Amino acid sequence: MTAHPRPVALVTGASAGIGAAFARELAARGHDLVLTARRAARLQELAEELCAKHNVDVQIMVDDLTDPMAPRRLVDALEQRNLGIDVLINNAGYGVPGTFDSQPWVRHSDFLQVLVHAPTELAHRLLPGMIERRHGRIVNVASLAGHLPGSTGHTLYAASKAYMIRFSESLALESRARGIHVCAVCPGFTYSEFHDVTGARELVSKMPKWMWMQADQVAAQGLDAVERGDVVYVNGRINRMIKTFAKLLPDRLALRLSARHSSRYRVMEGE
């Protein structure tokens, strides 16, 4: 691929929330962008905003990461457009409400495809180009939940985020000497559409305001962290304290506390 005048970033789940915030922050830092999500109108609106405001090139690729072929399609389309990706933001994600048995397997399978398989495959397919150029950045948007005990409800969410944290750690160790930084960014409660999609908005609105962060804060901190070479970054002082406290507790007590408080932020019944 020919050299591009500006670094190019691919952001998944870019139509809203943390993904859109990453796109805005990257554009402000002088990156050209490739944005992907399912909602074409949202992507087009964001692309026009960023082009006008920051004079960067923004291309959109509408696709659905629940399709196992989507990562390959995206990378093939990048190659056809002669675009080498310097920054990969694996952000796409959502939650499946209810207990494990309350949802059909196809819904869990789609969830794992989006939150585990797709980001892993995109990293694998885009890594060779970064290695060739001796420079690259991969941000895997994980969660504070990946550092905490499992909860009742949303059964696979914390497990998928814990995977992304450990995957990021190993990939970072393998890639650092090649000029590639990998970071798992772990926000806690963040103002976005996430809780509307899962049906938990009414529940989480009762959480104290000091536990919440803005999506633009999460994105800016995440990009700063990967540039510094941080391998795992937990956004926010309160969230870092929660992570530390959870690790100090005996497993039995930590699980007991999780069971007691899960209903405050997890939807227990399936839709």
Per the structure, the complete domain to which residue 210 belongs is given by 8-264
Q: Tell me whether residue 3 is in a domain.
A: no
Query: Is residue 2 in a domain?
Result: no
User: What is the Cα Rg of the chain in Å?
Assistant: 18
Q: Which residues are identified as catalytic?
A: 157
The answer as to whether 59 is a domain residue is: yes
Pair of tokens at residue 200: 């938990």
Residue 84 structure tokens: 């080498």
Per-residue pLDDT of the chain (271 residues; tens, 9 = 90+): 445 689 999 999 999 999 999 999 999 999 999 999 999 999 999 999 999 999 999 999 999 999 999 999 999 999 999 999 999 999 999 999 999 999 999 999 999 999 999 999 999 999 999 999 999 999 999 999 999 988 888 899 999 999 999 999 999 999 999 999 999 999 988 876 554 454 444 545 656 675 779 999 999 999 999 999 999 999 999 999 989 988 887 777 767 776 666 655 554 454 4
pLDDT of residue 27: 98
Can you give the CATH number for the domain in which 126 is found?
3.40.50.720
Residues 6+ apart with CB under 8 A from 25: 216, 219, 220, 223
Q: Domain tally for the chain?
A: 1
Answer whether residue 96 is part of any domain.
Answer: yes
What is d(CA 46, CA 14) in angstroms, rounded to the nearest whole number?
9
What is the rounded distance in angstroms from the CA atom of residue 198 to the CA atom of residue 184? 23
